[in-house]
Structure 1
């Protein structure tokens, strides 16, 4: 594949494109611009909700971003939600009731596009006081469709909790994880970063064999599988989760070593 070149570049943000200080290096910005000048679109594919995408617009000023692990497509230029594949209230009620019955210490939050609601006992890690973030009862939260349901446990280990969530959720929804915490990210059935990236790629007439995707956590596995099985490149960061490394076609440097830029430059 020495002469292989992508027609679309997709990258996760945290732990991948972003360095540990939450910035994008000048070298990475320059490399992405070189590809943009060649007409190759760049897609951000992240577990982040749209409300966390404002600062990245200083670097990626236009195009479509895949947010909430594929549930939301966001126009970065206009900062408008284009599509949202939501979990309906009935499914939210069934999942939360099942998890609470199995583990009463499970606490919930929901992402509604540009807003977050969380139970009073749920502890948001980053933006508890940010605009659009507020406390609500579980009954209030699940009364409306949600782009993503977050289930957290403060005492169980990550793998133990995720296994529990996957067993309870079954085929009602898609479960993934993108942190070191016991935090399950739950989306509508079949919704993943892969489905979001595929929708954008289709708009450009690009197939999976013409895509390179970068990531570091299990919520990138679906996108890696889609690209790898289609003949494209699935590139894991050097520090990536072992499950993602197993799904990769290539490995690059860490996010702090500008691994994304280094791999793109090698092409």
Structure 2
């Protein structure tokens, strides 16, 4: 595959494209713009909600971003939500009730549009006082469709909690995780970064064999499986989670070492 060239570039943000200080290096911006100028779309595929895309939009101003682990397609130029695969109230009510029955100290939050709601006892780690962030009751949060349900536990070990959530949710919805905390991210059934990237790729007439995807955490596994099984390239960062490394076709440097730019420059 030494002469292989991607027709679409998809990259995770945190821990992958972004450095630890939440910035993109000049070298990475130049490399991405070089590919874009040659007609290769650059797609940001992230667990982040649209409201966390404002700063990156100032750097990478064009294209479609896959947000909320595939649930939301966001046009960066117009900052407009193009499509949303939402969790419906019936599923939200069932999942939250079952999780709380199994583990009463599970606390919830939801993402939808540019808004974030969380229970009073839920402890957000970011954007505590940001616009669009507000406290709500669980009953209020599960009464309308949402892009993503967040379930957090403050004392259980991360792996134990994620395993519990996966068992309880089963086939009802899709569970991913991209945090070192006991935080589960729950999307509608079948919705992953892979489904989001596939939609954008199809709009450009591109199949998985012509896609390179970069990532570092387990919420990237579905996208890695999609491109690897289709003949494309799944590139893990050097510091990536072991489960993601096992799904990769290639490994590049860390986000601090501009691993995404280095790999693209090598093609």
Q: TM-score, normalised by structure 1?
A: 1.00
**Structure 2 counterpart of 1:38:** 38
Query: What's the secondary structure of 1:56's corresponding residue?
Result: helix
**Structure 1 counterpart of 2:166:** 166
Consecutive unaligned residues of structure 2, counting only runs of 5 or more, are: none
1:37 Cα offset (Å): 1.1
**Structure 2 counterpart of 1:254:** 254
**Structure 2 counterpart of 1:135:** 135
User: Residues 220-250 of structure 1: CA distance to partner in whole angstroms, max 9, x if unpaired?
Assistant: 0000000000000000000000000000000
**Structure 2 counterpart of 1:225:** 225
**Structure 1 counterpart of 2:78:** 78
1:96 Cα offset (Å): 0.3
Question: Is 2:217 the partner of 1:178?
Answer: no
Measured in 2, the distance between the counterparts of 1:111 and 1:257 equals 32
* Cα-Cα RMSD: 0.4
Question: Is 2:196 the partner of 1:203?
Answer: no
**Structure 1 counterpart of 2:214:** 214
Query: What's the secondary structure of 2:213's corresponding residue?
Result: strand
**Structure 2 counterpart of 1:94:** 94
Query: What's the secondary structure of 1:171's corresponding residue?
Result: coil
1:62 Cα offset (Å): 1.1
Measured in 2, the distance between the counterparts of 1:173 and 1:128 equals 27
**Structure 1 counterpart of 2:238:** 238
Query: What's the secondary structure of 1:123's corresponding residue?
Result: coil
Measured in 2, the distance between the counterparts of 1:21 and 1:139 equals 36
Measured in 1, the distance between the counterparts of 2:264 and 2:58 equals 21
Consecutive unaligned residues of structure 1, counting only runs of 5 or more, are: none
Measured in 2, the distance between the counterparts of 1:252 and 1:38 equals 23
1:58 Cα offset (Å): 1.2
**Structure 1 counterpart of 2:124:** 124
Question: Is 2:26 the partner of 1:26?
Answer: yes
Question: Is 2:8 the partner of 1:16?
Answer: no
Measured in 1, the distance between the counterparts of 2:76 and 2:97 equals 36
Query: What's the secondary structure of 1:30's corresponding residue?
Result: helix
Measured in 1, the distance between the counterparts of 2:105 and 2:198 equals 37
Measured in 1, the distance between the counterparts of 2:113 and 2:254 equals 30
Query: What's the secondary structure of 2:175's corresponding residue?
Result: strand
